[in-house]
Structure 1
Amino acid sequence: MSSVEINGGSVVYEILGEEDGIPAVLTPGGRAPRGFLRSLGERLAESGMKVLIWDRPNGGESDIQFSDRWPTESHMHADTLQQLIKHLAWGPTIIVGASAGARVSIITALQYPEVTRGLFLWHIAGGIYPTLALGNSYIVENIAIARKGGVEAVTQLPHWKQRIEQNPRNKERFEALSDEEFIRTLKLWLSAFVPTPGQVIPGVRDDDIASIAAPTVIIRSGQNDEEHPLLTCYSVHALIRGSRVVEPPWAEDAWEKAFANTLKTGGPNNAFDLNAQAAPLILDLARTTTADEA
């Protein structure tokens, strides 16, 4: 495990594989820690790639960060990611992401093409229900708690309590935030989760997505996946010229079963366990970019 300071906060990361491999970075969904895509990273490393897995700010062991410098949390993560890639001096990298990680990866590719060798996405969230649900999950509860009890009360929520347990510095970082600053930032970030015409992806203009020139592969969403609608993945495909949609390497209803099990047991969503099955598809994209360079 290594760390580097970016935008005034510590970012924790690991590198898997050999130094001379084709570089790839993996970003999971939600605010999940780097370990959620470790098995995928190990598969890619075993096949000769070098792989970056990382904890985004506000997830895993990295420092928490809240600032209205960025229009959304995903934009903050994309900025952090491009700086991390440049810190490692990797050059153009295969940008891989699922769900919230797909959103971060899309923003990285469109805003920082210099670090993007290829783009690989699955479980892309969009549409009215998923967008509103995400805004409620990531933002609304935190604002409501902060309005009643301030930032101190927010730190008692399970996710943030765990961030402090894993990284004690985060207690001081929360204490340094004023209630007004925290709420102002979250209200700004919440605006991205208001369904808006011309934004297939929350907080990202369709015209911007259409500017992505990197080779792009999208795993098709399941037919009945309510959180990552089939329409959204095909809409992104339509926007990114030359992109390809491929069949999922897991069962058609894998997400729905994992999500239902999470609701039933309260445990982690084991859909992440299936991600390693995407390794051959990512390797194929990486080899394609190598052939294009030749």
Structure 2
Amino acid sequence: MAEIEVNGGIVVYEFVGPDDGDVVVLTPGGRFSKDFPGVREFAVALAEGGKRVLMWDRPNCGASDIQLFGRSESHMRADTLAVMVDELVGGPVAAFGGSGGARDSIVFAIEYPHLVSSLALWSIVGGTFSTVSLAGVYSTAELRTVRAAGIEGILELEGKAGSWSDLVKVNPRNRERLLALGPLNFEEVMTRWFDAYIPKPNEAIPGVADWEFGGIDVPTLIIRGGENDHDHPKRTSFAVHCLIKGSRLIEPPWPEDAWEQAQLAMNRGEGSIFGPWLKAAPTLLDHLNRLVL
């Protein structure tokens, strides 16, 4: 595990796999860390296929510092990843991401096309139910809490997809970073980020206008959303496929209700919501190896 300072905050990361392997950035969803069950197993599977996998605790995830700036949280992370890739790799990488990580990867490819050689996306969030749900997961409680209890309330706030209180426990620096930010600045940023989760007719995914996808011009693999996956709708995967010229859409290597079943299993203390993703490793390796041939 290593650290790098980006935009005034520390980001924790590590590489898995051979030093001479093609670099793949693996980005999971939620505000979950690189050490959340299922993520490392996925990275190891890609590394065993000869790839050098960059695992990172995105800002506001795991042991990294809290960061609040930018048009949306995904845009903030794209800005962060760009500095990391430039300094640690020095050239374009394959960007792989699922759920919120798919959104982060898309924004990264749009904003920094010179740093992306290919994309692989799955479990893409979109549609009214999914997008509004994310507002509740990432912003609504934050806005209610900071308005009622200030930053002190945020320090104690818990959540389903990774909490601010957990970020403070794992990384004590985050307490001072939040206090220094103050309630007004926190509310301003969170209000701006909240807007990304207001469904709009010209946005297939939250916070990204459809026309922006025209800036993506790299080989892209999209795994179709599950038939019964309301958080990552089938329809959204088709929309993104239509928006990214030349992208390839494939059937999922997991059951149609894999996400729902994984959530139930995790609630029972069995497995992880990211567990099914491991089934995609052979397909993703094939996607990369095709580009080399």
Bucket of the pairwise TM-score, normalised by the shorter protein:
over 0.9
Q: Residues 229 and 256 of structure 2 are in contact (CA less than 8 Å); yes or no, is this contact kept in structure 1?
A: no
Q: Which amino acid aligns with 1:215?
A: P
Q: CA deviation at 1:270?
A: 1.8
Q: CA deviation at 1:210?
A: 2.6
Offset from partner CA, 1:185-230 (integer Å, 9 cap, x none): 1001111111111110111011111321110001111101111110
Q: Residues 27 and 101 of structure 2 are in contact (CA less than 8 Å); yes or no, is this contact kept in structure 1?
A: yes
Q: Residues 2 and 12 of structure 1 are in contact (CA less than 8 Å); yes or no, is this contact kept in structure 2?
A: yes
Offset from partner CA, 1:22-67 (integer Å, 9 cap, x none): 1100000111101232111101111111000000101100000112
Q: CA deviation at 1:260?
A: 3.8
Q: Which residue of 2 aligns with 1:208?
A: 212
Q: Residues 113 and 215 of structure 2 are in contact (CA less than 8 Å); yes or no, is this contact kept in structure 1?
A: no
Q: Which residue of 1 aligns with 2:63?
A: 61
Normalised TM-score (structure 1): 0.94
Per the alignment, in what secondary structure is the counterpart of residue 119 of structure 2?
A: strand
Q: Which residue of 1 aligns with 2:80?
A: 80
Aligned runs of 1:1-294 on 2, under 5 Å?
A: 1-36=1-36, 37-67=39-69, 70-158=70-158, 159-261=163-265, 265=268, 270-291=272-293
Judged with a 3 Å threshold, the aligned counterparts in structure 2 of structure 1 residues 210 and 41 are, in CA distance, closer, same or farther, namely same
Offset from partner CA, 1:142-192 (integer Å, 9 cap, x none): 110111110111110131111111111111111101111000110011111
Aligned length: 287
**Range that drifts further, 270-279 or 78-87:** 270-279
Per the alignment, in what secondary structure is the counterpart of residue 192 of structure 2?
A: helix
Q: Which amino acid aligns with 1:258?
A: A
Q: Which amino acid aligns with 1:238?
A: C
Distance 2:35 2:221 in 1: 23
Q: Residues 118 and 285 of structure 1 are in contact (CA less than 8 Å); yes or no, is this contact kept in structure 2?
A: no
Q: CA deviation at 1:288?
A: 2.1
Q: Which amino acid aligns with 2:167?
A: R
Q: Residues 23 and 90 of structure 1 are in contact (CA less than 8 Å); yes or no, is this contact kept in structure 2?
A: no
Distance 1:268 1:190 in 2: 32
Q: CA deviation at 1:269?
A: 7.5
Runs of 4+ aligned residues of structure 1 deviating over 3 Å after TM superposition are none
Q: Residues 117 and 289 of structure 1 are in contact (CA less than 8 Å); yes or no, is this contact kept in structure 2?
A: no
Distance 2:48 2:99 in 1: 25
Distance 1:276 1:57 in 2: 24
Distance 2:2 2:276 in 1: 26
Per the alignment, in what secondary structure is the counterpart of residue 270 of structure 1?
A: coil
RMSD of the TM alignment (CA)? 1.4
Q: CA deviation at 1:271?
A: 2.4
| Structure 2 stretches lacking a partner, 5+ long | none
Q: CA deviation at 1:261?
A: 4.3
Judged with a 3 Å threshold, the aligned counterparts in structure 2 of structure 1 residues 90 and 246 are, in CA distance, closer, same or farther, namely farther
Q: Residues 122 and 221 of structure 1 are in contact (CA less than 8 Å); yes or no, is this contact kept in structure 2?
A: yes
Normalised TM-score (structure 2): 0.95
Per the alignment, in what secondary structure is the counterpart of residue 252 of structure 1?
A: coil
Distance 1:268 1:115 in 2: 37
Distance 1:7 1:32 in 2: 21
